[in-house]
Amino acid sequence: MRKTVKALELLNLHGLCHIVDVPQSTAENWIEEFNVYIPKAEKQDVIYYHPEAIDVLKFIKQCKNQNYKKASIKKMLGDRSFMVTKKSSIEDVQSALDQGNYKDNILTVMQTIGKTVANVASQEKSITAVKEQQDKQKKRIKMIEKQTEKINDLKQEINELKQERTTSDYKIKKEAFAKLFE
């Protein structure tokens, strides 16, 4: 579903339109209609779009090709987990509220908040699971360290026994050789 972007590259509107393969006027309309879901950044009074905007616009394009209405597309966008940067989403929500479309905007904001809370809860569960695995790994490492220490002690003991055996074999042979010449 999602493409992995290795480096964060901001796109201008022209580049975004080229990638999504839609006319610039169409993209402008979609960005205005679905601004809460399209991550963007403003640098020196120029608006750039995060790579995640590609997936959102492609999804909108697919929905529009299937004749979905704006409200349905907003609901579907709210149900999907597109990445929205915190700063841009807060600015977009504030801008949308300032425009006066309160009912649609409140519904969209509530859906976005609901998805965010669900994602946070899911991530908390994942973090807890990772911490549990980490604790188990730490216990295994301690056990392996103890076993390694025991193995090293046993190796040292074996070497000492070999040394004693060599020494006692030498004494026995020496005594046997001495008895021969008596």
More confident residue, 146 or 175: 146
Q: What is the pLDDT of residues 11-65, one digit of tens each?
A: 888 888 988 999 999 999 999 888 888 888 888 888 888 888 888 999 999 999 9
Show Cβ contacts of residue 5 under 8 Å, excluding neighbours closer than 6 positions. 51, 52
105 is written with which tokens?
Answer: 């905007």
Distance of CA 101 to the CA centre of its chain: 35
**Locate tokens 């006319």: which residue?**
23
Round to the nearest angstrom and report the end-to-end CA distance of the chain.
94
Residue 105 has pLDDT above 90, yes or no: no
Give the pLDDT band (50/70/90) at residue 147. Answer: very high
pLDDT tens per residue across span 107-134:
666 777 777 777 777 788 888 888 999 9
Q: Are 54 and 20 in contact (CB under 8 A)?
A: yes
